[in-house]
A = this chain, B = another copy of it.
Amino acid sequence: MKATHVTDINAADARDYMRRLGQAARESAVVVAEAATADKNAALEAVAQCLRDDEARIIEANAEDLTAGKRAKLSDALLDRLALDAGRIAAMAEGCRQVAALPDPVGEVSGMAYRPSGIQVGRMRVPLGVIGIIYESRPNVTVDAAALCLKAGNAVLLRGGSEAIHSNRAIAESLRAGLQQAQLPAAAAQLVETTDRAAVGEMLRMRECIDVIVPRGGKSLIERVSRDAMVPVIRHLDGVCHVYVDDDADLGKAMRVAFNAKARRYGICGAMETLLVAESVARRLLPQLSRQYIERGIELRGCDKSRAIVPRMKPATEDDWYAEYLDAILAVRVVDGLQQAIAHINTFGSRHTDSIVTENLASARRFLRRVDSSSVMVNASTQFADGFEYGLGAEIGISTDKLHARGPVGLEGLTCQKYIVVGDGHVRP
């Protein structure tokens, strides 16, 4: 099956085109919402098989994107994200199978209890409807996001980056084929096949057709979506994550956690960007820990007190407290103690993930309650902030918003709960 591709369209056409996609998504959402668990799983298995069968075709399409990308002088990092090979395609297929293996959240009933009136009241987990995903270069998002949305009983509209358009079209054909093999509507997972930016604007306004938008990508994308969206958004802003080493920290644990939180991987949103150290332990901790960071090639930017202990640190400015480096740079600040640490995190942080290292129960308790972040940790590396590590399975993103979903958003975050009431002819007095 060969799809018709829409490449160059004007704004009015974009509007019509998007409305058609949206309408088809809305209609197919009803079918997916009611689909049996076994049918959804069969579809995901079929998609996985189609991806493997279509490997050559997908790699060929990907080559077109890579050629265009080189011509457009994309950075090596970007080209690497864009590139697909047999291994990466197998990983996408495996991801589909893993989502198929997750428990189906749809229809789960909880809290069913008798009320004094005699009615039973509880909640049932149900799909959100149509999810719009707006993302950048990585073509694997096309499969990952579609699999999660479908398993949660939703239809999905996928809008990938223009630099990956050929790869995404090829992958979308495998999605369609898999859905059709399993007798689910192909419109349950549609790719926006135009690279026209007007299409994104249209998606952000399609309240009748889209229930929630999940943007995945860099800051400018998230900001545009936040500014223009009339559809509700589940958003991930920055990950300015902290580790605070408390007065009562075990310094061995502090060394391990603080080093891992920064050095394991720099480029993920759960990576620590600022280390906060209680003044009472700074002289014992910082010299040795700094040596480890510096040996690893990490640049340290410290406050005056930190630099008095480790003079090799560069001076930090207020901008450093706000910075999400995603790189081999770490800001370091010596604080009076717990209260100043919490104030620092709630002022300069991004409500993503923050950890305290302490043996003191009262400090741990206070930190857990008062730090206003989507994940708050005790004696654990911030790099644990991840759907798999939390037992959610794959995630569609990590929300730094407060409404609906906070932290890693997996299948549950792509559903909502309605109330169900069961009586036996009960009427309200």
A388, chain B: closest CB distance, angstroms: 9
Indicate if the CB atoms of B389 and A117 lie closer than 8 Å: yes
A261 to B423, CA, bound (A): 13
Q: How far is the CA of A424 from the CA of B361 in the complex (A)?
A: 12
Q: Using Cβ atoms and an 8 Å threshold, which residues of chain B touch A129?
A: 372, 402
A423: min CB distance to chain B, Å: 3
Chain B residue with Cβ nearest A126: B372
Are B425 and A253 in contact, CB atoms less than 8 angstroms apart?
A: yes
Residues of B within 8 A of A383 (CB): 427-428
Q: Which residue of B lies closest to A30 (CB)?
A: B346
Measured in the bound complex, the distance between the Cα atoms of B117 and A264 in whole Å is 16
Docked Cα-Cα span, A113 to B391, in Å, equals 9
How often does this chain occur in the complex, in copies?
2
> Is residue A420 within 8 Å, beta carbon to beta carbon, of the partner chain?
yes
Known: A378-B421, A380-B422. A404 touches B406 (CB 8 A): no
Residue interface bits A100-144, CB-to-B below 8 A is 1, else 0: 000000010000010101010100101011000000000000000
Give a binary string over A396-429; 1 marks a CB under 8 Å from any B CB, 0 the rest.
0000011110111000000011111111111110
Chain B positions within 8 Å of A417 at CB level: 406
**Interface of A, helix, strand, loop or mixed by DSSP:** mixed
Whether the pair B260, A391 counts as a contact (CB closer than 8 A) is: no
Chain B nearest CB from A392 CB (Å) reads 9
Interface pair A419/B406, CB less than 8 Å apart? yes
Whether, in the assembled complex, A232 has its beta carbon less than 8 Å from a beta carbon of chain B, the answer is yes
Report A32 CB to chain B, min CB distance, Å: 12
A403 and B127 CA atoms in complex are apart in Å by 11
A425 contact set on B, CB distance < 8 A:
250, 252-253, 256-257, 357, 379-380
Give A370 to B106 CA distance when docked, in angstroms: 11
Interface string of A368-394 (1 = CB under 8 A from B): 111011111111110111000111000
Residue in B369, B378, B381 whose CB lies within 8 Å of A428: B381
A420 touching B379, Cβ below 8 Å:
no
Question: Does A196 count as interface, using CB distance less than 8 angstroms?
Answer: no
Q: Is A48 an interface residue (CB 8 A)?
A: no
Q: Is A60 located at the chain interface by the 8 A CB criterion? A: no
B406 touches A260 (CB 8 A): no
Q: Does A34 touch B at the CB level, under 8 Å?
A: yes
A422 touches B379 (CB 8 A): yes
Tell me whether A326 is interfacial, beta carbon within 8 Å: no
Check if A212 is an interface residue, CB within 8 A of chain B: yes
* A211 sits at the interface (CB 8 A): yes
Contacts of A346 in B (CB 8 A): 30
Q: Is the CB of B377 within 8 A of A422?
A: yes
Bound CA span A400–B34, Å:
20
- 0/1 interface trace, chain A 354-371, chain B, CB 8 Å (1 if under): 010100000010001110
Residues of B within 8 A of A423 (CB): 377-381, 384
Interface-centre pick from A30, A128, A372, A426 (highest chain B CB count, 10 A) = A426
A429 to chain B, nearest CB (A): 8
**Mask of A240-260 contacts with B, CB within 8 angstroms, 1/0:** 000000000010110011011
Whether the Cβ atoms of B421 and A377 lie closer than 8 Å is yes
> Can you list 24 A-B contacts with CB-CB less than 8 angstroms, sorted by A residue number?
A30-B346, A34-B370, A115-B390, A119-B380, A124-B368, A128-B403, A129-B372, A129-B402, A252-B425, A253-B425, A264-B428, A357-B425, A375-B418, A375-B419, A378-B421, A378-B423, A379-B424, A380-B423, A384-B423, A384-B426, A390-B419, A403-B403, A406-B416, A406-B418
Top-6 shortest CB links A-B: A253-B425, A380-B423, A260-B427, A377-B421, A404-B404, A375-B419
Apart from A256-B425, A381-B428, 12 more pairs, CB < 8 Å: A30-B346, A253-B424, A253-B425, A380-B422, A380-B425, A380-B426, A384-B423, A384-B428, A390-B421, A403-B404, A404-B404, A408-B419
